Amino acid sequence: MNGIHAEPFSIVDDPILPENAEEEEEIEEDEVSEALEDELSNDSDIDGNHDRQAFGIYQQLPVSNGEPDLSREPQTAEEYLQQVRYEAAQLPETMISTLDTAAFDQERTSYVSNHSTKDLNFSGLRPDWIESFVKDFAALRHDIHCDGLPCLSTAHLPALDDTSAWRGFCLGSRATPGTEPSAAFVKSLDQMFVRRLLRWHSIWLTEDGAKLDSLRTSWIYSLAAVMDEVFPMGTAATLRDLLRHCASLSPSDEAGLINMHIIVSIAGVYFKQAEQFAGMLQQ
């Protein structure tokens, strides 16, 4: 009987591989490497975002792209964010400054002061007059906010972002007189525009190098009478700018002295922006 002879199976025999197997393995390794690098890169971006958020930096609200109008100050939050975003895009990721900032002190805008209000000196102040005025001013604000005044129509007013038109409306020009404010009129304005118009008056006062006449004082008085007691830091800076302008004045007439007292009483004492008058309202 013929036996059947089979070749024994050996586990050490090399398997038969396709000719391009090694190339396929290299391609797979490259793909895995690239995927791993992408994952690490994404992790790095996430870590970077977490690092920024740890410092309170979050992605800004969606705003319009492109170059903003740099010829005027931003009038809305969206315009401000657009300007900040545009300016940030012009800067490198990392920048080291070696400039001597003292060289730019002479180029500061005139209404940006180098000192605090505690060093200001006001000519001819009468503390008893100021205390009496502040009490009357507080009572007026209470009456305005509690009793209620009829709001007037604002349809005939200039556009809210037209600084020149508002300047002519408030202070007048060579051809037309200015407008006397009233409590009912200023109460018709929203709080954001009340603060903005107060700031414009402060800037106009400094730009003109003007004395505090009765019309300018009436506008500042009326706007302050309806302004909320809680206000942002920008409004605090506006009130301090008004104090600095008053400190630069040396009124020789009674009317000028009274106007200066009114502004100092409102900005410095009632709204507490002058350190030397701290506590006067509580006395």
What pLDDT sits at residue 283? 47
**pLDDT tens for residues 4-16?**
555 554 444 555 5
What pLDDT sits at residue 73? 87
- CB 218 within 8 Å of CB 185: no
Task: Give the distance, in angstroms, between the CA of residue 99 and the centroid of all CA atoms in the same chain.
Answer: 25
Structure tokens at 72: 């005027």
Domain covering 121-277: architecture: Up-down Bundle (1.20)
What pLDDT sits at residue 138? 92
What pLDDT sits at residue 201? 95
Structure tokens at 268: 């410095």
The answer on pLDDT for 27 being more than 60 is no
The answer on pLDDT for 151 being more than 70 is no
pLDDT tier for residue 79 given thresholds of 50, 70 and 90: confident
What pLDDT sits at residue 8? 53
Per-domain residue ranges of the chain: 31-60, 121-277
Residue 45: C-alpha distances to residues 42, 52, 89, 172 (Å)? 5, 11, 19, 56
pLDDT tier for residue 62 given thresholds of 50, 70 and 90: confident
Distance CA 93, CA 52 (A): 13
Q: Rounded mean pLDDT of 123-142?
A: 86
The answer on pLDDT for 23 being more than 60 is no
Structure tokens at 183: 């409590």
223 vs 144, residue with greater confidence? 223
What pLDDT sits at residue 9? 45
The answer on pLDDT for 119 being more than 80 is no
- Which residue is it, tokens 């002190």? 105
3-state SS, residue 172: strand
Residue closest to 201 by CA, chosen among 182, 215, 183? 215
205 vs 210, residue with greater confidence? 205
Q: Rounded mean pLDDT of 177-199?
A: 90
Q: Rounded mean pLDDT of 210-234?
A: 90
Q: Report the percent of the chain where pLDDT is more than 90.
A: 23
3-state secondary structure 25-39: HHHHHHHHHHHHHHH
Q: Share the mean pLDDT of the chain.
A: 77
Q: Which of 7-21, 91-105, 186-200 is most confident?
A: 186-200
- Which residue is it, tokens 């490198």? 92
Q: What is the pTM of this model?
A: 0.57
